[in-house]
Copies of this chain bind each other. A is one copy, B any other.
Amino acid sequence: MDSVLESLIIENDKKILLLVMDGLGGLPMTPDGLTELETAKTPALDALAKNAECGLHIPIDYGIAPGSAPGHLALFGYNPHNYPIGRGVVAAMGIGFPMKPGDVAARLNFATRDDAGNITDRRAGRIPTEQCVKLCEVLRKVNIPGVEVSVRPVKDYRACVVFRGQGLSDHVSDTDTQKTGVPPLDPEPTSEKGKKTAEVAKEFVTQALALLKDLHPANAVLMRGFAELPHIPSMRDRYKLKPAAVAVYPDYKGVSRLVGMDVIEDLPDLESEIPALNKIWKDHNFFFMHHKYTDSKGEDGDFQAKVAEIEKVDKIIPKLLALKPDVMIVTGDHSTPAKMKAHSSHPVPFLIRAECVRPDGLAGFGERECGKGAWGIVPTTKLIQLALAYSDKVLKFGA
A residues whose Cβ falls under 8 Å from a Cβ of B? 1, 4-5, 8, 27-28, 31-32, 35, 51, 56, 60-70, 80-81, 84-87, 90, 225, 337, 339-340, 342-347, 356-361, 367-368, 371-378, 382, 385-390, 394-399
Contacts and interface: CB of A to CB of B under 8 A. Distances in A.
The binding surface of chain A is classed by DSSP as loop
B81 A1 contact: yes
16 contacts: A5-B63, A27-B358, A31-B357, A31-B359, A61-B385, A63-B382, A63-B388, A65-B397, A66-B396, A69-B399, A80-B398, A339-B356, A367-B374, A371-B373, A372-B372, A374-B377
Nearest to A339: B356
A31 B4 contact: no
A226 to B, nearest CB: 11
B397 A67 contact: yes
Given A374-B347, A374-B371, A64 B5 contact: yes
A341 to B, nearest CB: 11
Contacts of A376: 376-377
A358 B399 contact: no
Contacts of A346: 356, 358
Contacts of A66: 396-398
B31 A90 contact: no
A194 to B, nearest CB: 18
Q: Which interface residue of A382, A395, A398 has the most chain B CB atoms within 10 A?
A: A398
Contact of A65 (B4, B84, B359, B396): B396
Contacts of A394: 63-65, 345
A382 B377 CA distance: 13
Give 5 nearest A-B pairs by CB, closest first.
Answer: A371-B374, A63-B389, A63-B385, A87-B399, A67-B398
